[in-house]
Structure 1
Amino acid sequence: MTDVARPVVAPPAPWDFPVAQTHDLPNGLRLLTYDVPGQYVLSLRLGLPISLRDEPREREGVATIMARSLDEGTERWSAEEFARLLERKGVSFGAGMADSGLSLDLDVVKGNLEPALDLLRQILTEPAFPQTEVARQVRTRLAEIDQERAVPSARAGLEFVRTFYAAQDRSSRPTGGSRDTVAQITRDDVTQFHADHVVAAGVTMVVAGDLAGLDVPALVDSALGGWSSGGRERDRHLDRPATLAADRSRIVLVSRPGSVQTELVVGAPGPDRSVEGGWAPYPVLGFVLGGSPTARIDAVLREEKGYTYGIRSSFRPRRAGGLFLTSGSVRSDSTPESLHLLVEILGSGSEGFSDKEIRSGVDFISKTAPGRYATADAIADEAVSMALDGRTTEFVTSNLRDLRTVDAARVDAAYARFAERAGIGAGPRPGAGWTIALVGDAEAHLDAISALGLGDVTVVRDEHA
C-alpha cells in the first residue's frame, strides 16, 4: 500500500475589512459606501452623535420616544399612509437610541434606492409626530418599564447600573427613561428634541450592497443635501466618561420570593478601545473567561457543577471608558456557591492564562471575522458602530492584525492593567472591585451570601414582586 502524504493546510491569509469610499456633504453629513457585489438588498445605516445626556432630566426617555415616532407619519402622509409607502417600496425601517447615539436602519432592494432615500428624507426632516402616535409610544414604553421590572435579567441589569454608576450620572438610569419621566413626555417635547438634535452635522451614513450602476453620492446629496446642519456645534457628551459610584463595590439582592433561578450580574470598570497596550487582548480575555461554552466559567458552573445553562462575560467599550460584564442565571439552590465560584473564576486571571486558552480565543475571533462581516448589513452595522465610537473601520483591520500577535503574556498584562484600575482583588476581601446585582429569593440566600465576605449586601424589595 502506497502512503499518501497528508496535505499541509496553510494558515489563512490576513483579512482586511472592506474599504469604504468616503464622501462629505456640505451640511456636515459623511457618507461611506461599500460595494458588495451580488447583495441586492442594500443596507443603509445612519449614526447620529446624540447623547442621552442631551435629554432634559425631567423628560428622560424623550429620545427613545422620538426615535420610535420618526416614521409615524410626515408632513405629507399620515402614519398609515406612510407605513403603506414603506411597504410598497420594500423598505424596512427601524430606529433606536443607545449610549453610543441614535441609530437609524433602513434596508431596501437595489432598484428602489432613490424612492427609499426620499422616504428617509421625510423621516429625518418632516416627521409629523402626531399626538395620537406619540401618546401610543409613551403607553408602550410605560408597559415596557413594567415588563423590565418583571423579567429577572432586565431587572438585574437595571439594579446593576443603578449601583455601578453615580446617581447623578445619566448612565445610572434606564436608557428609555423611568416611569416618572416617560409619563410626562408630550408631543411638544418630542418635536423640540428632534428640532434641536436631529441635524446633519456630525452624522455618518453608510450604504452597503451591490452598488454597480448607482451613483450613490449623487442620490444621497439630492435627497439629504438640504438637511439642516444645525445651528450649533454638537456637545461632546459622548466623549466624557461616565461617573462611577463611590460605593459601587458591593452586592445588591433584589428579592423574588420563591424564585427557582437566580439572575446574576457581576461587573467592573473596563477600558475603551484606546487602552494602553492595544484593544486586541481584551476580547480574547473576555472569551477565555466567559465568552463561550468552553470558557472557564462554563467549564465549572455548567459542565462540572450543572448549576447553569450558560453564563457569559465580555468587555463592553464605550467612546470613553467601558465595562466588563458577566451575566447569566443559576439554579436557586446553588446561588451562594455559584456566586463564590464565579468571583473566584473571574479573579483567576491574576494567575495567568495558558497558551492553549489564548490560541482558542485568538483563532475564534480572528478566523471568524470574514464570515461575521460577509453580508452588507453586517458591514454597515460595524461601520456605523465605529463611527459612533469616533473611529473608522480601519480600526477593525488594524485590530485584527494586532490580534494575530496576541499571546499569553499580552493577555496576562491586559488582565493586570484591568484588575489594577478596577481595584479587583484589592484589600482583604475577594469581592473587592466587583459590583454584583442578583435577582432571587432573598430570604433563602441572604445569610449565605453575606457569609461569603464578598461585600456589603443590600436587599431591595420591589412592590408587587
Structure 2
Amino acid sequence: MISHWIEARKERLGLSMGTGATVDYGSASFTAPTVNLVPALDLLGDMLTRPTFPADEVAQLKRDTLAVIDRERDDADSLVQRVLPRLIDAHSPYAQRAGFGDPKVIAALTPADLAAAHAQWLRPDGAKIFVVSDRPLAELKPMIERTLGGWRVAGAAPALPGRQPPAPAQPQIVLIDRPGSAQATIGAGQAVPAADAGQQLLRDTANGALGGGFLGRINMNLREDKHWSYGANGNFDDRPLQSSYVVDTSVQSDKAGPAIAEIRREVSDFVTTRPMTQREFDLVRGGALRGMAGWFQSSGAVLGAMQENDRRGRPDDYFATLDARYAAMTPDALNAAIRAAIDPARWVWTVVGDAGQVRAQLDALGLPVRVVRAGEVVPRP
C-alpha cells in the first residue's frame, strides 16, 4: 500500500510529516534532520504534486471516518460542537463544517472525487513556504526550487468565500437529550465583531480574568467555589471569516441550570458592574509577560508564529512588539475592549444531558428550550 511505503520512507529519513486542511487554508509540513533535507523535500513534492488515491486506501479511510462520526453520537463535547456553532452564526463556514462531516457525503466519496478536489484546491498559486532552519536561505532556496519550482496547474484558482454578516439564532437553549448521562455538558456563546491585532490582544488579555485562565472568574466560581465542575473556560475564537466568544464546561446533572445562571451572572457582572480589578489586571498582564519567555523554545513554535502572523496579516515583528503592547495596557482599556465585544443577553446555549434530570432546571432560566436527540444531531449514512 502507498501509505505503508510513505511511512517506511519517513522512518528511514527520520521525518515527522503532517498535512491538514481547514475552511481557511491547507498545509503540509515536515521536520527533518538537515542532512536529509533533499530527500525529505522530494517526498513532500511527490505528495503535493503527484498524489495517488488507491481505491482500497480510500475505502479504509472512509470506514475510519464513518467510525469517528458514529462515536460523535456518544461524545457530549462532539455533540456540542455540532450544534453550538450553527446557533452562534448559521452563515459561518465553520458552522457548516462543524464535526467530522456528513456521513452520507463521506460514504459516497470516490477516488475520482478526491483527485478532483486535489486538482481544484491544492495549487502553487497563492501557496507560501515557511522554513525554520540553521541553514542560510541561499542554501535552502535552490533545494526548494528543485523540488517545487516546476509545479504547474491548469486554470484559475477557485474563489474563496468572504466574511458574511452573522446570522445568529435568538437567545435559547438547545438540550440534546442523552438519557442516563451522569453529567451535563454546556456550551454557550455569541458572534463578536471582527477586531484588528491590537484590539484582539486587548480582548484576550481582559478575558484572562473572566474565562481564559484557571484564576478566571468563571472557573473559580464553578470549580473552586461551587465544586460543580472540574473546570470551565471561556475564550475568543478569532478566525478570518468569523469571530466568536465561547464558554464550555461540564457539571453534575443536578447543577446544569444553576451553572448556567452563574455563568450568565459572572459574564454580565464583568461587562457591567464588576469589571476587571487592578489586582486581576496585574495578574493577567504579569502572567502574559512572564509566559513569553517560553514561547519560542522549539522550531515548531517559531514556525507556528510565522504562519499565524501571515494568516492574520500581522507584521513579522509582531511578537517582538508584545512587551511594549502589554506595558501600554490599562485596566480601563481592557474593560472597554471586552465590554464592546460581549453581550451575554445575546448568548445561545447548548446542553447535553438527561432531559429527565435537567429539563426543569433549564425551563426555570427564562429562555426558550428546544429538545433534540443525539441521532438528530449526527445523521446516519
Instruction: Judge same fold: TM > 0.5, yes or no.
Output: yes
Aligned to 1:331: 252
Of 37, 40, 56, the match for 1:132: 56
CA distance in 1 between partners of 2:324 and 2:99 (Å): 35
Alpha-carbon spacing, 1:95–1:248, altered in 2? closer, same or farther (3 Å): farther
1:445-456 correspondence to structure 2 within 5 Å: 445-453=358-366, 455-456=367-368
In structure 1, distance between residues paired with 2:20 and 2:280:
37
> Do 1:204 and 1:384's aligned partners in 2 also have CA atoms closer than 8 Å?
no
Matching residue's letter, 2:288: I
Q: 2:332 aligns with which of 403, 409, 417?
A: 409
Q: Could you tell me whether the CA contact under 8 Å between 1:166 and 1:243 is conserved in 2?
A: no
244-253 vs 375-384, greater mean Cα deviation: 244-253
Q: Name the CA shift for 1:384/1:443 in 2 (closer, same or farther; >3 Å).
A: same
Q: Equivalent residues in 2 for 1:88-167 (5 A)?
A: 88-166=12-90
Cα 1:401–1:130 change in 2 (3 A) is: farther
Structure 1: how far apart are the matches of 2:296 and 2:194? 22
User: What's the % identity of the aligned pairs?
Assistant: 26
Q: Which runs of 5+ in 2 are unaligned?
A: none
2:95 aligns to what? 171
Structure 2 counterpart of 1:442, which letter? A
| 1:418 and 2:341 correspond | yes
* Residue pairs, 1:362-373, within 5 angstroms: 362-373=285-296
Q: Distance in 2 between matches of 1:195 and 1:215?
A: 31
SS in 2 for 1:280: helix
Give 1:167 shift.
6.5
Please report how far the alpha carbon of residue 209 of structure 1 lies from its aligned counterpart in structure 2 after TM superposition: 3.3
Instruction: Report Cα offsets for 1:270-301 as digits up to 9, x if no partner.
Output: 344417x6222111122111122211012111
2 CA distance for matches of 1:341 and 1:270?
Answer: 21
**CA distance 1:411–1:170, change in 2 (3 Å):** closer
Counterparts of 2:211 and 2:372 in 1: how far apart (Å)?
Answer: 28
Moved more, 208-217 or 106-115: 208-217
Report what 1:274 is aligned to: 196
The 8 Å contact of residues 286 and 314 in structure 1, kept in 2 or not, is answered as yes
Look up the equivalent residue of 2:133 and give its one-letter code.
G
Closer/same/farther in 2, CA of residues 242 and 359 from structure 1, 3 Å limit: farther
Counterpart CA distance in 1 for 2:158 and 2:103 is: 28
CA displacement at 1:233 relative to structure 2: 4.0
For 1:253, give the aligned amino acid.
Answer: L
Q: Report Cα offsets for 1:55-75 as digits up to 9, x if no partner.
A: xxxxxxxxxxxxxxxxxx7xx
Task: Say if 1:171 and 1:242, in contact at 8 Å, map to a contact too.
Answer: no
**Are 1:341 and 2:253 counterparts?**
no
Question: Using the alignment, how far apart are the partners of 2:322 and 2:13 within structure 1?
Answer: 39
More helix by share: 2
Report the secondary structure of 1:209's partner residue.
Answer: coil
- Do structure 1's residue 262 and structure 2's residue 175 form an aligned pair? no
Give, as a single letter, the amino acid of the residue that structure 1 aligns with 2:39: P
How many angstroms apart in 1 are the aligned matches of 2:287 and 2:125?
Answer: 38
Residue 382 in structure 1 maps to residue 295 in structure 2: no
Matches within 5 A, 1:8-407: 78-166=2-90, 169=93, 171-174=95-98, 176-211=100-135, 215-228=139-152, 231-237=155-161, 240-274=162-196, 278-350=199-271, 351=273, 352-407=275-330
Residues 203 and 337, structure 2, Cα contact 8 Å, conserved in 1: yes
CA distance 1:141–1:81, shift in 2 (3 Å): same
User: How large is the RMSD of aligned CA atoms in angstroms?
Assistant: 2.3
Query: What SS is found at the alignment partner of 2:222?
Result: helix
SS in 2 for 1:231: coil
Structure 1 partner of 2:357:
444
Q: Contact 1:280–1:399 (CA<8 Å) still a contact in 2?
A: no
Unmatched runs of 5 consecutive residues or more in structure 1: 1-72, 426-431
Q: Report SS of the residue matched to 2:52.
A: coil
Poorly superposed stretches of 4+, deviation over 6 Å: none
> What is the distance in 1 between the residues matched to 2:241 and 2:376?
38
In the aligned structure 2, how far is the partner of 1:162 from the partner of 1:251?
Answer: 13
Higher RCO, 1 vs 2 (CA within 8 Å, ≥6 residues apart):
2
Alignment length, in residue pairs?
Answer: 375
Matched residues in 1 for 2:318 and 2:158: separation?
24
Asked whether the equivalents of residues 169 and 242 of structure 1 are also in contact (C-alpha less than 8 Å), the reply is no
Relative to structure 1, is the Cα distance of residues 271 and 131 closer, same or farther in structure 2, using a 3 angstrom cutoff? same
Q: CA deviation at 1:152?
A: 0.7
Amino acid at match of 1:415: I
List per-residue Cα deviations over 1:7-27 (Å, max 9, x = no partner): xxxxxxxxxxxxxxxxxxxxx
Using structure 1 for the length normalisation, give the TM-score: 0.76
Deviations 1:290-337 (A, max 9, x none): 122211012111111101111111111111431111112111121111
> 2:283, 2:164 → 1: CA distance?
33
